[in-house]
Structure 1
């Protein structure tokens, strides 16, 4: 009898942990990840290109594309994968001029898309197209500016600019190049860059200024960091020398985000401003980081699983019947003006918001 009682008591922590994790496995009608994901993903099938400067495939479209592909993989939706391949095919021929040039962090990240398609299809054309986008982030052009050369001399990408947005743009293409080639130089680049950004930009409260000269905790900017560090940790080898520092920065950020989550489950346009409006793209990125952290065992399930579930339930209420996410902050440059962030227009269906929702869906569907 005593032995059975002891075994029961010892099993209670496991049962509690399992119950907390299961909070991310079961949702009521209308909030089921696969249903929400299908609505958002299929909206992209016939959507128009969102071009950078009217010239090239933009980073928000690239992320939407990647998110749709990941959803299609996880749900074994072969038709959707084919749709996405058909959408890309003209970029090899009639739409080739829309391929981004390789001279800016927001443009080079496009390489993550063909590398994702290569992993799914094994079509070598995608690999041959994608790898140069990763390599040219570290190949200094002849016309590089002195400041860009200075970063390169220190071992960082010449495209470094110390905006927190960079930590997704750089990480995603380098991590994908690592997954495709197995060459550690790519993951080493991303890790080294991440450590430098953590050292330079993370504040004592765990959050990040948009840039050194812009002391505001902009939601999507912090979202790029949260998603970027999460992606990097997913693929960074356990014995990598930079992993402890990166994990420390990630967990410090997650703790702060947990504290700033609003009663409704969201995060505001400026995270620490309670009177600002709830912004969906940043909130979805934080939710993705929470879900992944719980499932990977990086975050305490008892603390973060309820927060992640609350956030997901809140996020879904911003998705309309056509699969368009509302209250998405438009593309935003840095500016040392607090009111500037409050006044940013809010859009519905903006690709900046569509993609992070699909990241959340993928994280919820992954086992």
Structure 2
């Protein structure tokens, strides 16, 4: 009887330890997410220094801007919205899902005011919701479009569906492509393939396939993964380069961290939505596995990854580390990757918590938005910004998957 009591007590302590560990992870994630909720005002600031709750309050002749970057319409906001929906669903806390709903509603309730001004020929510095009104490249619609679909799944507004269809039409029929169908951009040179654009297209296409039931979106998404690997994968380094210049038939010079992160994230979000019986699924898993094994070789002793992945004299960067942590932990949690690789994600998360996430929930060492460049020093010297919104969504997603793993895998005695 005494041995039985001790055994039960030991099991209880193990479970308590896991709960405490998971609670600690949850506290970190919520710290980041709560900072976002507290600092997104969803308001406008006028050039008369007044604040307006909606566009209806803006007086004639007053130029206004969105009050803060967390309330803007830009691709990192889409990444953040998706993460907040995922966090709300995982923690069963409506505060986080409501953030994404409020963000989308703020844009759709107010953009017609600014659209009307633009049609009247008004010149407006930093025009609010410009990327919502004028869709020209994948940055304008892919990431935000994915988040609109996530919100639309629980809030069936007709204007949301109209936008989703518009984004689908742009990606499928308007956005520039190479002759083989690879999505590309007209800049900075005609034509340029950006690693970033796999994320700016594939997560939306995957969701559109699921929403519409039309396999053409899944097929295009899988084709993009193949194409981007063909053009951007560097077999010698086992990493992706940032870009490919079609006019020179030449890859870029840098194995930029976040570009590799965008690519990995895109594959994971494709698998999140791809039907289990789709014939291309195993090929995507193999491609993801190849990338994970490649990037793992470049993890620093701190668990973090560098701005230029294969250059240890470049700074350790938060957003790419979080993207790798999320993707690897997600792959293990979903059974796409063997459990022995979870330690890569765990060490990465530990590095983020220890070195990059502040007590107030803000993030350190997030590389700001980045163009392409032919010289490696450009990537070395790219500035970081405190709490730059390129890092927020990925850090939240990383924390969710680490929590999932710890909750579902009790340590052996």
Separation in 2, partners of 1:264, 1:335: 28
User: Alpha carbons of 1:244 and 1:200: their partners in 2 closer, same or farther (altered >3 Å)?
Assistant: farther
Separation in 1, partners of 2:326, 2:100: 23
| Deviation, structure 1 residue 249 | 1.9
Q: Select 1:90's aligned residue among 79, 82, 106.
A: 106
Is the aligned partner of 1:211 residue 2:243? yes
Q: Select 2:228's aligned residue among 197, 212, 218.
A: 197
Contact 1:280 1:353 in 2 (8 A): yes
| Deviation, structure 1 residue 150 | 4.7
Match of 2:74 in 1: 58
Match of 2:206 in 1: 175
Match of 2:288 in 1: 250
User: What SS does the corresponding residue of 1:178 show, helix, strand or coil?
Assistant: helix
| Deviation, structure 1 residue 255 | 0.7
In structure 2, runs of 5+ residues without a counterpart are 1-13, 41-66, 116-128, 186-190, 245-250, 409-413
* Range with greater deviation from structure 2 (310-319 or 92-101): 92-101
1:240-279 map, 5 Å:
240-279=278-317
Q: Count the aligned residue pairs.
A: 332
Q: Deviations over 1:29-54 (max 9, x none)?
A: 8x8332222121222223254399xx
The structure with the largest alpha-carbon Rg is: 2
1:241-320 map, 5 Å:
241-302=279-340, 304-317=341-354, 318-320=356-358
Match of 1:4 in 2: none
Contact 2:257 2:320 in 1 (8 A): yes
User: Alpha carbons of 1:150 and 1:80: their partners in 2 closer, same or farther (altered >3 Å)?
Assistant: closer
| Deviation, structure 1 residue 179 | 2.6
Q: Select 1:140's aligned residue among 135, 152, 174.
A: 174
Q: Deviations over 1:222-278 (max 9, x none)?
A: 110111111112222344333333222211111111111111101111111122110
Q: Deviations over 1:326-349 (max 9, x none)?
A: 000111101011111111111111
Bigger relative contact order, structure 1 or 2 (CA pairs below 8 A, ≥6 apart): 1
Separation in 2, partners of 1:347, 1:149: 33
Q: Select 1:32's aligned residue among 24, 40, 59.
A: 24
Match of 2:123 in 1: none
1:112-123 map, 5 Å:
112-123=146-157
Separation in 1, partners of 2:177, 2:234: 27
Contact 2:182 2:228 in 1 (8 A): no
User: Alpha carbons of 1:33 and 1:119: their partners in 2 closer, same or farther (altered >3 Å)?
Assistant: farther
| CA RMSD after TM alignment | 2.5
Separation in 1, partners of 2:311, 2:157: 48
Relative to the length of structure 1, the TM-score reads 0.83
User: Alpha carbons of 1:307 and 1:63: their partners in 2 closer, same or farther (altered >3 Å)?
Assistant: same
| Deviation, structure 1 residue 132 | 1.7
| Deviation, structure 1 residue 165 | 0.6
Contact 1:138 1:157 in 2 (8 A): no
Contact 1:219 1:267 in 2 (8 A): yes
Separation in 1, partners of 2:350, 2:358: 14
Separation in 1, partners of 2:390, 2:109: 27
Match of 1:234 in 2: 272
Contact 2:368 2:385 in 1 (8 A): yes
Q: Deviations over 1:289-336 (max 9, x none)?
A: 11011112222212x111211111111121112211100011110101
Separation in 2, partners of 1:169, 1:258: 24
Separation in 2, partners of 1:198, 1:252: 11
User: Alpha carbons of 1:83 and 1:282: their partners in 2 closer, same or farther (altered >3 Å)?
Assistant: closer
Match of 2:140 in 1: 107
| Deviation, structure 1 residue 149 | 5.9
Q: Select 1:43's aligned residue among 25, 35, 41.
A: 35
Relative to the length of structure 2, the TM-score reads 0.74
Match of 2:194 in 1: 163
User: What SS does the corresponding residue of 1:103 show, helix, strand or coil?
Assistant: coil
User: Alpha carbons of 1:251 and 1:86: their partners in 2 closer, same or farther (altered >3 Å)?
Assistant: closer
Q: Deviations over 1:127-181 (max 9, x none)?
A: 332232122111237xxxxxx3654xx4444658421111111112111212322
Q: Select 1:356's aligned residue among 390, 394, 401.
A: 394
